[in-house]
Amino acid sequence: MTDIETTLDAIGLLCPLPVLKARKRLKSLASGDVLTILADDPAAIVDVPHFCTEAGHEFLGQSDAADHQIYRIRKGG
């Protein structure tokens, strides 16, 4: 079984839209799949890990790109 990796482009969206769109996208993924979120909302650095904790997903980390951040989430069971 290969885990699927999906990217959600949330650049230009402000809180709470990146997390709301991530929640919607995760619904269509299987448990264990990875969602990569691209976002430039300053609040996402707090919102994304908090969302993972509340929703039972694994926050895999955050990294910086030139003009946005990259967040990775593994869908929980």
Sheet holding 5-9, edge to edge: 5-9, 34-39, 69-74, 58-64
Q: Catalytic positions, please? A: 15
Among the listed residues 57, 51, 53, the one whose alpha carbon sits nearest the alpha carbon of residue 29: 57
Residue 64 pLDDT exceeds 50: yes
Confidence bin at 2 (pLDDT 50/70/90): low
CB 33 within 8 A of CB 64: no
- Domain 5-74: homologous superfamily in CATH: TusA-like domain (3.30.110.40)
Higher pLDDT, 77 or 73: 73
Domain boundaries, the chain: 5-74
Q: What does the mean pLDDT of the chain come to?
A: 95
Reference 23, options 62, 51, 60, 63; nearest CA is: 51
In this structure, what are the phi and psi dihedrals at residue 27, rounded to the nearest 5 degrees?
Answer: -60, -35
Provide the whole-model pTM: 0.93
